[in-house]
Every structure is written in C-alpha cells, then in structure tokens.
Amino acid sequence: MEVQQLGTTTDYVVIVMYFLAIMLFGSYFGRFTTTTKDFFFGGQRFSWWLIAASCVATVVGSYSFIKYSTAGFTYGLSSSTGYLNDWIVLPFFIFGWLPIIYYSRTGSIPEYFERRFNKNVRLMATIIILLYLIGYVGINLLTLGVALTKILGVPLMPTVIIIAVISGIYLHFGGQTAVIFTDLLQAFILVIAGFLLFGLGIYYLGGFDNFLSGLDLAHRLPQPPFNTHHKFPFIGLFWQDAVANTTAFYFMNQGVMMRFLSLKSVKEGRKAVSFVVICLMPIAMIAIANGGWLGRAMVTNGLLPADTNPKDIFVTVANIVAMPGVFGFIMAALTAALMSTVDTLINAISAIGVNDIYKVYIKPEADDKHYLGIAKLIAIFSAIVGVILVPVFNSFGSIYTAHAMFTASITPPMVTVIILGAFWKNFTPKAAFYTLLAGSGMVLFSLIEPSIIAPVAHGVSDEGGFKYMRALYSLITCGIIAVVVSKFTKPKENIDGLVVDSIHKGMEIFKGGKVNLRESKPIRTLLAKNDGNDLITLGRNQAADLDIDEGDLIYLRDKRWWYGGLKSAQGKLAKITEDDNITISQDLLDYGRLNLGEEVVVEKIL
Amino acid sequence: MWDTFLYQHIVGGIIFISAFVLYYKKTDKDLIKAQGNKIVLYPVAAFVFYFFLNLVWTYWAIKTGSK
C-alpha cells in the first residue's frame, strides 16, 4: 500500500518543534566539552542510568519501528526475540570486556587490536570498522529519508540534509556529552511514543481482550518455529542475532564502547548493561513492535484488509489510531530513533579518525586542542559523507546490498577476534590477522556458494541462501582458523590488562599503584578549595568513613542525582587532613563545574 | 513449541555458563573475592528473569492460543 501525504499541519509543527528543541538541547552541552576526552568519552563521569537510557536510544534505529512492526504483523509476539536474548553474552561483557577496555584506557577498538596484537591487525580493523560505520550512517539516513518521504510526501534529499545538519550541529558542539543527553531525551520520546501508540491501538480495538483475541497461537508464542520459516527461523535468529549481532553490538560497536568509557567506574558499567538487558530492552521491544501486533489484531477483527502490506503496517496503524499532533509526535519519535543512532555513529567515526588515523599516520605530536578541532571537523565530514552516500545507495540497490553483505562478512571475524583476544592469552597476533582476513574470505565465499552452510543449517531450507544460518557457519570457520593458527604461532608478551587473566594488573596500571577494593558507602561533605598543588584532600573522619588511603582514586559529584554526573570530577586523593571537608584545586573545580560551600557526594573508585 | 525454549536455554545456557567458568578459572582469586557476589548476581538475575519469562510466556501461549 503506497501511503502519501499523511498527517496534518499540527503534525508538521510538532515535528519541526522537535527538531529545534533537540538541536538547542544538544548544543547546550558544548560548554561541558573542552578536551578530546570530553568529546569522545564525556570525561569519565556519568551515572549508570544515563548510559543505560542512551544505549537503548542507540540500539533503536529509525528502521526499528518499521522492521519490528513488519515482523510483529507477520510473525506476532515472537518479533520481540531479537531484543530479549542479550542475556546470553552478558557475563562475557561484565566479567571480561568491560573491565579490560575501561582499565586499559583503550580509546578505540583498533587501538586495542594494536596493543593486544600488532599494527597490522590495527590497520585492518580500522579499515573494516570505518567502512562499516560510514556505510551505516548513509543507510540510516536513507532509511528514514525514504520513510518520511513516503509518509509525509516530503522530498528525500532536503529531509536527509536537515536531519544530518541537526545531528552534526549538536554533535560538533557537544560531543559525547551532547550525544548522551540528547539520547536520554530521545529514549524517553521513543518509549512514550511507542506506548502511546499501543494504548491508542488497544482503545481503538475496544479493549485488551479484543487485542489478545486477535492473535492466534502462532502469533502469541515468544519464539518463531524452530526451522520451518526460512525467512524467520528461531535457530537462525539464535545464532545470528542472539550470539553474533549481540556480541557485535556490545563488544565491537565503537559508539557503545565509548558510552561505557564515559561512565565514572566499571561498577556503573555493570549496572548499566544489566539494567539495559533486564529492564529496558523488554520495554523498548514493546514500544517498537506493537504497531505490528495491533495491525494483526485489526486484521483479525476486520478493521484492516487482510492484504495490508506488512512493510507499511507501522505507519498505517499510527495513522489510523493517532489523532492530529499525536501522529506528528510518533513521526518525531521515528526521527529521534535515527538521530540517536546516527550521532553515536558519527562520534565513533570521529574517535577512530583521530585516534587511529590522524594521531598514528598524520600528526602524532600535537596538543589536545588541536586534536579536538580535528575531531569536530571529522564529525562534520562524516555527516557530509553520510549524506553523499544517500543518493548513491538509493540509485544503486546493489551497493546497499553490498554493504549488508560486507557487514555480514566482517561481523563474525571481528567478534571472534575480540572474544578470543580478551579471553584467551595464547591467541596470537598472526592468528588474529588471519582470522580477520581468511575468516572474512570464507564468509564471502559462502555468499557465492551458500551450499557450504548446509552442514550446520539445522534443517533450515536453503531458500534465501541460508541468510540466517551464515552466522553459525562463520563463527565455526573463524574459530577454527583462530585456534589452528594460534597453535603454530607465538603469542604476544606484555599484554597485562588486555586479557581477562590480568585484569587485576590492568586495574593497578589504570590507577598507577595498588588498588583499594575495600567496600565503602558514599558520603556527603562540604566542598572547599585548596590553594596548593594538591588536587584533592579529605578530612580524616571522612577518609575513615570511605576506608580510603592517600593515592586512591576518588569521585565527587553534585548532590543532585538527576545531573547523572554532569557536574562531577575524579582524581587522586593527595592528602588526608585534619579538616572536616573535602578540598579540590581550582582546575578540578572548574572542570567539574562544582560549587564551593555546597554539599557534594564523595565516593571511592579504586 | 517447547523445542525453541529448550534449545535457547540449553545452548544459550552453555555459552552463558562458559563465561562464569572462564571468570572463576582465569581471574585473580583476590580480585574475585574483593569484587564480591554482586558482579555474579547481575547476569544470574538476567538468566533467571528470561528463563521464567519465556517459560511462562510459552505456557500461556499454548494454553490460551490453542482454544
């Protein structure tokens, strides 16, 4: 069904107001960005709930509402499966990857690859990740542009340019801090819009019982059939989505990695990711897929024709159940989903551009201000390239398909190298190199000759070329290459803190001395300034309450929790004094934007 | 209909548990002790939540959807 010129003037006003609000809100956070550490990592200061919300905004892309509503309409509640299986790889992230990247102060995935393996592996990873990210920016912009063109009848390129300019402006000024806070706002909008649609749809159907009665057994189950639907087989989704793509999202996605590095501590990272997996993903799933479930119930109840195109179901349902203004709000949410994904991608490209190309190959010795300027320029350049790619992807469907094939080819080798690199100290640099090279080659070969996947297809029909079963084949192939080459080559020495075996050592390197892991609760105390060179001093009584020693890492923040750490600072405790307060230097005071004489919350980090 | 539930929790469970095995086998014992139980409880809570969610959901779907 071709949908043309939906919505009213009120809807357009709501969308334009939303654009302006997001741009101003994001740009406000430019004042918190003075170094590359701020621009990329937000200064390692944020609270877990802030990062958890922004992660959800990143995972929900513009295509999510369309894609999951389509699946929800066709397959029912099992469309949620992609959002409810992250628990499988959660402990790998919590126990290994998160502390490794945080304590090793790794700025990018390629940088980790050089430190863990060698320069060749870093170069290969840099090329792979950049191609993936830049292509992904173009695809996200195109997806939303096409959707809005179809829905509102607006021309494609001006729409794409406006969205790219808005994202580019607030990212240029605010960096990671702007990304985190706009994503927090956009996460709320996504969820509110999704639940608003659900509520209005239930009302339109005449109650929850009518909604449920519109779903038969096949549409009620939490999982699709094991292997009978070659387009949506449980077994294919398990290996491709639950194992490969989820690992790629948490371990390989530079943007997500930067989010976790912006947290005040590893403990906060563990809380954030657990909250995402247990609470936010189920909520996000209902928000993005319910359009399809409602559509199916409407068809069963005779409120929609049975031949409704599944690809149009989200917009069709939104247009039927939403009143003027609300429809615009839901369309703004669709845009929010795009912007919160694209801003993360652009910031990630900027980080890799500066850390892995500019600093390594162009200008290794420069001050931080210079690198910050380059980071901002790369952010603008990435947005422009993303826009340029839109007509290219739009004109040549094969390029769009090529990017999808490229992503399918590089994800399993990258995932294998990251997991083995973090959890197996005998995994060698040569093995990593050949896993990326030969592993990608083997995956590409399977795209030309899909029958090679048949032995691991679990009975899924070869119709469609084993699209979903390729991940299992790829993981097995890459795993074999990695293990065999490692057995005949020499592992790298001096990888303290870069593998799970030496996380303790990594913590000591991070701190610059023995770590203090004794449990203690945060305290509140008055903030004063010290005139000496000491960064932070603390009164004896407070130090006793925190069970802290001189030289330990300490974190202090504004007492208002809802700032999420925006006003905060972290540093080493230089001296324990006889005073009854905490004192910090002028530099740290300015950096943390804290107010003298006010109560602050103080806690020990390590 | 129960085959997907069993596969997900048995095969997924093996992958999940292998992370615990690696953690207890490879991580410094002093660090494991100092980090305490909280670090283990987060993923365990996720497993328990999704196990029972899928169990109840599958049971409900079969019971109500077959009518």
Cβ contact (<8 Å) for B16 and A274?
A: no
What distance in Å separates residue B50's CA from the closest CA in chain A?
8
What distance in Å separates residue B52's CA from the closest CA in chain A?
12
Q: Which amino acid is at A105?
A: R
Cβ contact (<8 Å) for B16 and A84?
A: no
Q: Does B7 touch chain A (CB under 8 A)?
A: yes
DSSP A443-502: HHHHHH-GGGGGGGSTT--STTSSTTTHHHHHHHHHHHHHHHHHHHSPPPS--TTTSGGG
| Chain segment A47-77, per-residue pLDDT in tens | 999 999 988 888 877 678 888 898 999 999 9
Cβ atoms A469, A458 nearer than 8 A: yes
- φ, ψ for residue A521, nearest 5 deg: -95, 150
Closest residue, chain B, to A277 (C-alpha): B46
| Chain segment A449-474, per-residue pLDDT in tens | 989 999 999 988 888 778 888 889 99
Cβ atoms A478, A245 nearer than 8 A: no
Helix A266-275 to helix A254-261 angle (10° resolution) is: 130
On average, the pLDDT of chain A sits at: 87
Residues A100-106, mean pLDDT to the nearest whole number: 92
Domain residue limits at B12: 2-65
Class for domain A516-604, per CATH?
mainly beta
Cβ atoms A565, A598 nearer than 8 A: no
Cβ contact (<8 Å) for A517 and B53?
A: no
Cβ contact (<8 Å) for A217 and B16?
A: no
Candidates A84, A507, A519; nearest CB to B50: A84
Q: In chain B, positions 23-52, which contact chain A (CB-CB < 8 Å)?
A: 23, 26-28, 30-31, 34-36, 38-39, 42-43, 45-47, 49-50
| Chain segment A478-490, per-residue pLDDT in tens | 999 999 999 999 9
| Chain segment A242-265, per-residue pLDDT in tens | 998 899 889 988 888 888 999 999
What are the start-end ranges of the H helices in A153-253? 156-205, 208-213, 217-220, 234-237, 246-247
pLDDT of residue A7: 67
Closest residue, chain B, to A89 (C-alpha): B16
For residue A1, pLDDT over 60 is answered with: no
Candidates B19, B38, B65; nearest CB to A95: B19
Band of pLDDT at residue A14, cut at 50, 70 and 90: confident
Architecture of domain A9-27+44-486: Up-down Bundle (1.20)
Q: Does A500 touch chain B (CB under 8 A)?
A: yes
Task: Measure the CA–CA gap between A469 and A453, rounded to whole angstroms.
Answer: 7
Q: How many domains does chain B have?
A: 1
Coil vs helix vs strand at A157: helix
pLDDT of residue A578: 87
Q: What percent of chain A has pLDDT over 90?
A: 42
- The CA-atom distances, in angstroms, between A257 and each of A55, A107, A192, A354, A594 are 10, 9, 27, 16, 27
Chain B residue numbers touching A86 (CB-CB < 8 A): 46
The ranges assigned to domains in chain A are 9-27+44-486, 516-604
Cβ contact (<8 Å) for A278 and B45?
A: yes
Strands A523-529 and A599-604: antiparallel
Cβ contact (<8 Å) for B4 and A234?
A: yes
Candidates A274, A507, A519; nearest CB to B46: A274
Task: Measure the CA–CA gap between A205 and A297, rounded to whole angstroms.
Answer: 8
Largest CA distance in chain B: 57
What distance in Å separates residue A516's CA from the closest CA in chain B?
9
| Chain segment A266-297, per-residue pLDDT in tens | 999 999 999 999 999 999 999 999 999 999 99
What distance in Å separates residue B46's CA from the closest CA in chain A?
6
